[in-house]
Amino acid sequence: MPTAHPVPDAANSRMAPQNTVQRQRDPRLDFYRGIAMFIILIAHVPGNRWTGWIPARFGFSDATEIFVFCSGMASAIAFGGSFARKGWWLGTARVAFRCWQVFWAHIGLFFFIAMSMAALDLFGGFEKSYIASLNLAPFFNDPAPQLVGLFTLSYIPNYFDILPMYLVVLALLPVLMGLEKISLWAVGAFCVALWLIANPYMIGLGPDGVGLSAEPWSDREWFFNPFGWQLLFFTGFAFMRGWLPKPPVTKALITFCAVFLILAMPFGSWKVFTWVQAANQDLGEIIRPTWNWTAQWREKTDFGLLRYMHFLALAYLGWVIAGEGGQNLIARGQSTAARVWSFFLGIITKVGQQSLAVFVFSMALARLIGFALDQTGRAVVTTAFANLVGFVLIIGCAYGAAWFKSQPWRQKK
């Protein structure tokens, strides 16, 4: 997680380009982001048995936090150097280009899934309406205003929330790089202030924060409020840029994080709570009331404080396990176990490196896998086969995306 080798910050970035040493990519970033991609696929397959065992079922945070945090770290590598080397305007231009890519990825994903669901309803003759399953009826019933809303991000249907959030958070990056010239305290104050706008209950200003409207005919807001989630994104960004120091590795801190994660389980996971209640009815009755008064603190839309604390504890343990520079992830020796681990590490890392392409592909793939399970049933073996096929396909997507990015047609013979 937080890297031990941050890129030079703005204060140290005045060195000439020829003196800059090319850094080797940190394996921890791509490894954990790759893990998140597999979990995200599992989580988005409708009626998937395997969703009962993803991280979201055992605590406050889930794979979304991994994705957002690692995206912040990756953005520090991809864009932080551009701001340092080329200045604020060209750095902003690069961020704008990435926002353009993310925007069209969002639009393309929507139309592919919407048309796929429409085709299933139109030609399939199934009892289930796949358009209704994603609440897309308003789009098909009155497409003209929804098209305008889709392209202006004022219409964000269910299931299509995370890329718009990511886009808005990316758009905030030039603001933070401008504030960095004033002070890192100004950067921190801006991020915390934005988070408090989404979570005003933290300072006693009422339960409802500021969000973005997801549709004009109701008060539904974006499922992922960018004003809240930017705090996690820029935490990852700050660690990778060197704005935040790496935490110390101590037995006390390791123990504290582990104990916090274990004790948080029945308070953040209804599944674990039911286990505790079944084992000890009295303890269950003590824990149950906390689900009401901690609702906002663990709320996902605005990124409640408990989610942030839970993820930071999990990230710290993941960082410690990976070791300095990710050395514990790299297998040593020529044993069969080492070779097998190296093989799987290479695959997971490749998936993490191509996270945007894999994410868009997996979101579309998840709906098609859900359709296949509707037709074949959700037996244990069938579900396992469907998930494993999904894994193979997103791995193929990652390697395909990497091949296209390498532009082999430009290579000399």
Residue 307 scores a pLDDT above 70: yes
Contact criterion met (CB below 8 Å) for 50 and 383: yes
The pLDDT assigned to 203 comes to 86
Report the DSSP beta bridge partners of residue 213: 221
Q: Encoding tokens for residue 5?
A: 């080798």
DSSP letter at 50 equals G
Contact criterion met (CB below 8 Å) for 308 and 232: yes
CB contact set of 327 (below 8 Å; sequence gap of 6+)? none
Q: Encoding tokens for residue 335?
A: 């044993």
What Rg, from alpha-carbon coordinates, does the chain have? 22
Contact criterion met (CB below 8 Å) for 370 and 378: no
Q: How far apart are CA 324 and CA 309, in angstroms?
A: 23
State residue 45 phi and psi, 5-degree precision. Answer: -80, 120
- Mean of all residue pLDDT scores within the chain: 89
In terms of residues, how long is the chain?
Answer: 413
pLDDT band, very low/low/confident/very high, at 295 (cuts 50, 70, 90): confident
DSSP letter at 51 equals G
Task: For residue 253, count other CB atoms closer than 10 A to its CB.
Answer: 15
- Burial class of residue 333 in the structure, from the number of CB atoms within 10 Å of its CB (0-12 exposed, 13-18 middle, 19+ buried): exposed
pLDDT band, very low/low/confident/very high, at 24 (cuts 50, 70, 90): low
In the chain, the amino acid numbered 190 is F
Residue labelled with tokens 């150097």: 81
Instruction: Give the tens place of pLDDT for each residue, 195-219.
Output: 999 999 888 887 788 999 999 889 9
Residue 108 scores a pLDDT above 90: yes
DSSP annotation string for 175-234: HHHHHHTT-HHHHHHHHHHHHHHH-GGGGTS-S-----BS-TTS--B-SS-HHHHHHHHH
Mean per-residue pLDDT, 229-252:
95
The pLDDT assigned to 46 comes to 94
SS3 content of the chain, % helix, strand, coil (to 5): 70, 0, 30
CA 181 to chain CA mean position, Å: 28
Helices (H), 269-335: 270-279, 281-287, 290-293, 305-322
Mean per-residue pLDDT, 175-193:
96
pTM beyond 0.85: yes
Instruction: Give the tens place of pLDDT for each residue, 250-288.
Output: 999 999 999 999 999 999 888 899 999 999 998 989 999
Residue labelled with tokens 């404080």: 305
The pLDDT assigned to 410 comes to 83
Q: Encoding tokens for residue 62?
A: 């889930």
Task: For residue 155, count other CB atoms closer than 10 A to its CB.
Answer: 21
Q: How far apart are CA 44 and CA 158, in angstroms?
A: 12
pLDDT band, very low/low/confident/very high, at 158 (cuts 50, 70, 90): confident
Contact criterion met (CB below 8 Å) for 237 and 72: yes
Q: Encoding tokens for residue 121?
A: 């309803």
Q: How far apart are CA 160 and CA 324, in angstroms?
A: 37
Q: How far apart are CA 12 and CA 175, in angstroms?
A: 20
Percent of the chain's residues with pLDDT above 90:
72
Residue 331 scores a pLDDT above 80: no
The half-sphere exposure of 19 on its side-chain side, counting CA atoms within 13 A, is 7
CB contact set of 348 (below 8 Å; sequence gap of 6+)? 30, 31, 34, 35, 38
Mean per-residue pLDDT, 84-100:
94
Percent of the chain's residues with pLDDT above 70:
94
Please report the sign of the dihedral spanned by the C-alpha atoms of residue 380, residue 44, residue 78, residue 192: negative
Q: How far apart are CA 351 and CA 57, in angstroms?
A: 23
Instruction: Give the tens place of pLDDT for each residue, 28-68.
Output: 899 999 999 999 999 999 999 999 999 889 999 999 999 99
Report the DSSP beta bridge partners of residue 221: 213
Q: How far apart are CA 45 and CA 8, in angstroms?
A: 41
